Structure 1
Amino acid sequence: MATEYIPPLTSLSAAEQRSIKSSLLTEHFQFPPETFARNGMDLANQTIYAATKIVEDSLMTMTRLPEEEGDERPFVFEGDDVQKGVYRLETLLEAAVDKYFDLFELFALRNSFNLPSELIPYIVLSHQERLDDALLGQDRSAIEEYEHELASYEQALQKERALKCVEELGQRKLDRINAIANEVGQMSSAEPMSTRIEQLSSQLPQLHQTLSVLLETPSPSLGSTLPSSTTTTNAHEPWSESRSAFVNWATKAKIDALPSSSTLTGAGSSGSTGDSALEGLRRGMQETGGGGEALDLMKKL
């Protein structure tokens, strides 16, 4: 089978080509090329720390005075001087390791792990060895069918989620309405609202009849309804008790305003004055209204 010629990846940028090379080398070696030199640097640093720890422990033994006679030492170190010296030695070794391992990393990436861009289309990894290029594109119909089925599943899932949201919203509204109904007593153990309305409706005719009887009741006499001037002043105004009390109070005020019989001369003047007073009372009662008008008003309500 003739292999089809694949042109080099000239259309890609330098950054994209480096990314492809790094991916190919990582998949082939099972580790990123950048970590090769870094792992060696970490191993060298661990060796430095172990060596400086041994040196520090050895020098710290020389900071104590001899315990036995005859154990003479030419000099004794100070503890601070030992720690400072070991720290400086460790810093120098780390700087040397960083410098030379950086150079080693650059050399490895540019030479050992370098891959020409022209060879990228022809590289076959271990899991690509048995791939048949002749089968390329034959499963397009199956893939399209699978994608169509996947899209239909996604649409159905979206619809189901929307219905779920609507259901939850309706359930919340129903719970809120039930809570309000429980507060006003519609769904509690008390009697239903319709029974209350029926009871109130049955009591309305009786209330109307009672009001009609009260309106048809004649007003009491002046002597029995009007209290003395001393008690009225001390208690409250008599006309504020009821409508009949107001009419009686107005009548008494009109009668009290009439001149006495001792000051009038002649029967003609007395008769004319009385007629004018009665006419004023009749006019006041017409302006105020009677019990029949109150009864008609209650019937309209």
Structure 2
Amino acid sequence: MSAPASSDYELLTEHFSYPPVALLDDIINTVNVLSDRAIDSVERLLLSIPPQKLGFSSSTSKKSKDKDNAAADLSPEEAAKREIENGTHQLETLLNTSIDKKFDLFELYVMRYILTVRPEHQPYIRLAHYDGLDLAPGPQPDRPTAESVTALRRRLQASQKLHVALEAERARNDALLRRLRGLLGIWDRDVKAEEDEAQPSPFGFLRDKGNLEEGGTEQPITTTTEFALSQLQALRSLSTSLRTLLPDLGTGDAADAEGDGGGPGQRADGKKSWRRERAEYIEASSRKYLERSGGLELGPRGEVRDGEWQGAGRGPAKDEVEGLEKVAAMLEGTARRGDGGGGSDAMDMDES
């Protein structure tokens, strides 16, 4: 015998409002309780009967003593009680075993043939609490589709890329802030290194306020003077470093000047100096601008040829064009007539 299908079990559970197996369990538990009560009643009845009526006497106890070689001498009441307890226990075990075996078969039979619904009847069964309900599948706007899942996946990928980019930008900003603080002489204790501490900060003098905090706005001249004095040392160091660079800069400028003066914009090695190239570029750009935007006609050396506007003049109007066309037509007609009259005169002269 096979167990009922899951659909039948769910349908019956919904109909009964409790599992069908619970009904069979209640029946089996009730039978077990009744069997326990019956055994208790039998035991109490046997204990209420005198031992002599049950066949227990002093001679019987002596025979059992000789037979079992027991050390203690049992009275008829104790012997009867022991036998009754052993007998009822055996009866209880036998009865429980029989009940379990028979009711297991009963449970299988009921679940297979009684508490079941035939498959051909299931489509036509409607429970009472389903009356008046429309169970047809309707539109489900929140149901995920392939397009929505794809769009959600793309949004997730875009957010992950943005997160990675923002993390990289944050790391770059942190590194830049550490470098800027290092220029001011502010070192982070967690990430600073010994070599960074050994390097002098070029803008550390900006944090050296001196006595500026003591002056305030009440003595502006004193505050300004103290600020200027606090910056003198840094300015002196900067001027000293610039003076060390001046000789190299002067040598390069002199070489360029010699190259410009030695030839028509060429150095001794035949190449144009950067000053000459810059001047030619500026001159060419200015010439193009004046010719295109200004409408001037420039000569080879950049002079204006006639000093007048060289751009396009005013375009002819529609009536002017029509007048010119009429004049051209009249002239063409006159020319044709003249050609015709001259030809006839020539023929008359030949005939004469």
- Is the structural similarity TM-score above 0.5? no
Higher relative contact order (CA 8 A, sep 6+): 1
TM range (shorter): 0.3 to 0.5
Q: TM-score, normalised by structure 2?
A: 0.33
